[in-house]
Structures are given as structure tokens and as C-alpha cells.
Amino acid sequence: MSQSQVRVRFAPSPTGPLHIGGIRTALFNYLFAKKHNGTFILRIEDTDQTRFVEGAEKYINDSLEWLGLTPDEGVLQGGKFGPYKQSERNEIYKKYADELIAKGWAYYAFDSSEDLDKLRAKYETDKMTFAYDCQTRKQLCNSLTLSESETNQRLNSDGSWVIRFKMPEDFEIHATDLIRGDVKFMSNTLDDKVLYKSAENLPTYHLANIVDDHLMEISHVIRGEEWLPSLPLHVMLYKAFEWDKTMPHFAHLPLILKPSGKGKLSKRDGDKEGFPVFPIQYEAPNGEIASGYREAGYFPDAVNNLLALLGWNSGTEQEVFSIEELSSLFSLDRVNKSGARFDPEKAKWFNHQYLIAKPNNQLAELFNLELTSKNISMPIEKIETIVGLVKERINFVSELWSQTFFFFEAPSNYDEKVVQKRWKDQVPKFMLKLSQMLSTHENWTCDSIKEATSQLISSENENFGNIMNTLRLVLVGGSFGPDLFTIVELIGKDQTVARINKACTVL
């Protein structure tokens, strides 16, 4: 595989459900890979056992599958750079940590987390922030301050230790971000991050991430902006390993912000604010359920589309794109720098666009599933017609029923306001005449029915608008629905007559 080959990875950790921010990151990686005929890799970063959540990995796979963002390489797909789960790559990392120690880029630290916590607390009372860095490491318990023999003794004892990166002093770190340009950091302001922990015999994110990206020949790291602060560390790690020549390019995506209020979108925002934050429904191990876009009735393409436009645009006025169009149009230099507030209303609009673009027969099939569950059966052709009548006015397939129930069953109650406005003294008399006329009407098409009804209305000196509204009331239960004579034609003669007669006795 050549060096110029695009290889990107989406590297979530299975600590819970992935929200749409994570999905957006996956999507941008996917689009970038497709655009460049590259490889999209899914790597599971499960180096923190304490935060491992049962089912989270499956959730990630299911979500990506639903959206069609299928990895080219990954735990399920395989590939020659596997394994793709960090917990299964365990034995790889230690030697790289050792290499850093040998080169003088890292050191052993023996301070207990309790001691460090105390230190942090103490600093805080002095309104300062503790950092394990080039200054404090000189006073702490590590292989830099301890003698070699004492270090070895501690390493061989039962006590736990960690390997920390030895961040150089007074060094200006330059990094290039494909979206933000050059970013500079002073190494003094950075701390000595833990790279490896003996207690679990596991690397931390930083080490595992760099080692795996290198080993998997990742060409571009496309991740959320929350990682920007660790970019200098990562750049230094590449330098320390002498991998600078093949260091991937970095692109930090703008964050997705809460629709209202402050901060980035979080897992807790969704159901509280009345919109899903998760791609598909998530049931936590404790049984709590968080709603998903799939269950809310969104089409996967619509979700991809709306997410793509959060932080990226084509530069044209087009907003509705198929995944193929996105794949060929996507480019990192059209990604925005600033965070994007998520707009649930526009999300619905995107789904509406996909819904109205869907052929009626497909919508009818989806709707038929719901009808079947209600024990309603009707020829699919007729459902198609009904769906076509109302699809312009809805955003979701799930709204179909409330817009069309009167095609399938008589209204069980009548809108009080409309009754008061329309159901006046002589109305029942006329309605009975109308039902009588219709019951003998032969040519049951909307045009013919309309003509006959109009004639009756004028011969009886009734007001057309008033009668229309009243007829609508008795047929659908309120003042809603598509063209009235189309409804009359579709529900048929018997239903029409029966509904009129029922209203006359009930109201």
C-alpha cells in the first residue's frame, strides 16, 4: 500500500452510546475516505476498562450500519492491520512505552493517585492548578528524582507505577491543522501525560492512539475539536518515536453545540430538549432508554445529510445531497472553524425533503407496517394514493396516521369548535337529503360527486362553503385533511352515507 493512500479511522471508545457529534465525525471520515478512494477504518479504543459499557460496541456497529457508513476495515470487517480493538492489541504497546523510556522521552512515576489528588486539592486552596509537568516532576516520586537502584526496586515490587511522557522544556511546538492552519504551543504549558499504567498493564489513549495510527498507516486524523489541546502531545510523540516523516495530517472538526443554552451537545440534551441526540435508540445496561433518530422516523440519508451540513457546505446553494454526492463533493477545506449549534427544526426539514422525494409506493409500504399493526388491511395501491395526498404536509412517516386515519375508520369524535360553528338548525335536514342523494349516486368519482353535491346545494339554497365544512366535519371529525371530494371518493359510498347519518343522530 503506497504512502499516499488515504487511510482514515473513526476511533470511538465503547463507553456508552455514540451521539450525533460522534456520528458526524464518523461521517466526515467516511466521506473523506470515499472522496479519495481511501480506506475507512473503525477502531475500538477500549483501553479504559473502568469505563467500559456492555453493549456500547454493538451500538456503534449498529449505528454505522443503519447510516450506511460501513467501515472498510474494522473488528467486524477484518483487515490486514488488525486487530482493530485496542484491548486485543495489548501486548503491542508496552514495548513502545519502553522504547520511549530507553530514548529518554519518558520516565517511570510512582506517585499514587491519592497523593496526586491531595496535591491538586492543596494547589486549589492556593488558587493554583497542579500539573505534573517539567517543574513539578523534579519534586515528585519518579525515576528522574529517584536513584536507579531505588527505581528498579520499586519497579520490581508490587506497587503500581505509570510511564509518563517527558515533555521537553522551553520548546515551541508547531502543528498544522488542515482546518485551522498553524497552531503553536509552548511545551512548558503542557504536562507530562501518563502513557502507560502498570495497574492494568494498559496504555492510555495517547500512546495507543499514536502507536495504532502509525501501525495502521493512518494518513489523516479527522476528529473533534476537543482533541486540539492534545495535538502538541501527539506531535511530540511522533517526534519521539522518530515517525515524523509519516505523521498523519490532522483535522479538528468544529463541535456541535446545544440548540439552546451553553456548551457542546451532550448525551443528556436530547430527550430533555425534545429531540434525539442518538442515531438509534439506546438502552443502557440499567434499562434507561434514550431515543434515536431511527425510531423518531428519520431516514438514514436525511441524518447523514443534515449532519454533513453541520460544519461543512458545498459552496453552492444546494442543501439536499445524496451520500454519493457528498462523497464526491466533500473536502476538508470547506469545513468551518466555528462550532455549529444544532437546530432540531432544520433537522425535521431535511427529513421532509427526503420524505417528499420518496416514491409513494415506498412510503405506502412503510405505512402499511403501521396499518398492519393496527389490524387494518387495505390494497397497497389505495394506500399509495392516500399517502400521496398528504405527504407534502408531513415530516415523518409516523405522522401519516394522524393525517389519514379517517380513510381507514370513521371519526370517533368531532371537534367541538367546528361543531358549534357549523352544526346549525337546518343543517341535519340538509345532510340527510345529501346522504339520500349520495346513496343513489351511481358514478362514484370525485368530479361526479362534486357536481351532484353542488347541484343539491344550489337547489336547496344552501351556502356551499358552509356545507363543505360541515360535510368535512362529519366525514373526518374536524377541519382538516385533503380535498374533500377525494376523501368521499376514497372512503366509498357506504362509508360516506353511514358517516353522515351517524353524525345526524349523534350531534
Partner RNA sequence: GGUCCCUUCGUCUAGGGGUUAGGACACAAGAUUUUCAUUCUUGAAACAGGGGUUCGAUUCCCCUAGGGACUACCA
Helices (H), 183-258: 205-215, 231-240
Residues 6 or more apart in contact with residue 450 via CB below 8 angstroms:
485
Handedness of CA 40, 46, 48, 51 (dihedral sign): positive
Is 95 an active-site residue? no
Give the DSSP H/E element, type plus range, for residue 39: strand 39-42
Q: Closer CB to RNA, residue 383 or residue 475?
A: 475
H or E element that contains 402:
helix 400-408
How far, in Å, CA of 468 to CA of 473, rounded?
9
Q: How far is the CB of 4 from RNA (least distance, A)?
A: 27
Antiparallel, parallel or unpaired: β 220-224 and 249-253: parallel
Gap between the Cα atoms of 27 and 10, Å rounded? 9
Nearer to RNA, 184 or 272 (CB): 184
For RNA, which is the closer residue by CB, 310 or 323?
310
**Cα separation values, 193 from 129, 351, 385, Å:** 15, 44, 64
With respect to RNA, which residue has the nearer C-beta, 113 or 362? 113
Alpha-carbon gap, residue 202 to 215, rounded angstroms: 17
DSSP alpha helices (H): ranges in 113-175? 113-125, 148-156
Residue 376's Cα: distance from chain center in Å?
33
Quick check: 132 and 164 in contact, CB under 8 A? yes
Residue of 267, 358, 433, 450 marked catalytic: 267
Say what the alpha-carbon torsion angle 171, 94, 50, 122 is, to the nearest 10 degrees: -40
Q: Which amino acid belongs to residue 186?
A: M
The secondary structure of 166-204 as a DSSP string is -PPSS-EEEEEETTTEEEEEEGGGS---EEEETTTTEE-
- Cβ proximity to RNA, 129 vs 375, nearer residue: 129
Catalytic positions are 267
